[in-house]
Amino acid sequence: MREQRRKDAVWQFTTYVFILVMTLVMLVPLYWMIVAATLPQEQFIQFPPRLYPGTAFFENFAALQERTDFVRSIWNSVFIAVVYTVLSILLCSMAGFAFAKYEFRFKEPIFYLILATLVLPIQLLVIPLFLMMSQIDWTDTFRAIIIPWLANPIGIFLMRQNMKSIPDALLESARMDGATEFQIFYRIALPAMRSSIAALAIILFLFQWDLFLYPLVILETSANYTIPVALSGLEGTQRVYYDQIMVATSLAIIPLAILFLVLQKQFVSGILAGSLKE
């Protein structure tokens, strides 16, 4: 018995050490990034490095802002991601509603066609989309970044799955009260989907937020750059401004990290919903 207790203690100790080490591994790069963003360049590149924050954040930020309008890029990214998320949710929930609650011809084949594209990597689309966008003169515009991805297969899949759980009797009684099909959709179906929509919103927002290859190809003028495109160009000049780069990465990472802390439940359900398989 004592032997067992000793073994348990060793096991528990090892588990704690493992968890603590992994927690440090996950947090240290972020801490180091923040420290670097608050130090003048000279202090950052010295060896051994300084490991606690300084006070130069706003000077670094001003220097960064002078060199490239990074705030503009943040605004671009937020604008694109928010507009995309709202429009895509509307589109996907409308279509998901139809697939869940109506009978129409070719319903099954159409749905499986959409579902089949779920496994395809989106990089597949970059070349043809680039040619199409050049053709209709949409390169270097936000609509070229937003519109092609609105019809999101994950979105329609999630919405269909969840809207199936709305009782038919509820819709039928609304119909008897004289509601039109559109009223039924946005007065009954949409409000009932609140938590699924929150999860989907996070999936869609992060998808657009992290989109890199496609905007890299489409966007040309730096005033239109999204955060990833602007960041990837930051170290391109002769001298590398590490302090400014770390300010930029901090501005890209920390707001989302805070959002994650606040909306953790929705993030987790978004991850789990995105990983659903039938």
Partner 1 sequence: MSTQHSDEETPVSSDGDPLRLRLWDRIRFARQSYTERMPQIESIAYVFISPFFLLFGLFLAFPIVYTVYLSFFEYQSVSSDSLFWIDIGPIFIDVPQIAELQFVGFGNYAHMAGDSLFWQSMFNTTYILLIQVPIMIGLALALAIALNASFVRFKGFFRTAIAIPVSANIVAYSTVFLLLFNEQFGFINYLLSSVGVEPIAWLRDEFWARKTIIAAVTWRWTGYNMIILLAGLQNIPQQLYEAAEIDGASRWEKFRYVTLPQLKPVLLFVVVLSTIGTFKLFAEPYVITDGGPTNATITIVQYIYREAFQNWNLGYASALTVVFVAIVSVISIIQIKIGGDD
Least Cβ distance, residue 164 to partner 1 (angstroms): 15
* Residue number with CB closer to partner 1 (71 or 272): 272
Residue that is written with structure tokens 């706003």 in the block: 58
Residue with smaller CB distance to partner 1, 117 or 165: 117
Considering the complex, what minimum distance in angstroms separates the CB of residue 122 from partner 1?
9
Assigned token pair, 133:
């966008």
Residues 163/96, Cβ–Cβ less than 8 Å:
yes
Cβ-based nearer residue to partner 1, 221 or 275: 275
Q: How many helices (H) and strands (E) does the chain have?
A: 16, 0
Least CB distance to partner 1 at residue 27 (A):
6
Using the minimum distance from each CB to partner 1, give the nearer residue, 69 or 253: 253
Q: Taking the complex as a whole, how short is the minimal distance between the CB of residue 179 and partner 1, in angstroms?
A: 9
Closest CA to 100 of 201, 195, 196, 189: 189
Q: Cα–Cα distance between 251 and 229 in angstroms, integer? A: 14
Residue matched to tokens 């670094």 = 60
Here the tokens at position 56 are: 């130069």
Give the shortest CB-54-to-partner 1 separation in angstroms: 15
3-state helix, strand, coil in the chain (%, to 5): 80, 0, 20
3-class SS of residue 263: coil
Position 170: which residue type?
Answer: L
What three-state secondary structure class fits 209? helix
Nearest by Cα to 215 from 234, 230, 200: 230
Nearest residue (CB) to partner 1, 98 versus 158? 98
Nearer to partner 1, 103 or 108 (CB): 103
Q: How far is the CB of 74 from partner 1 (least distance, A)?
A: 11
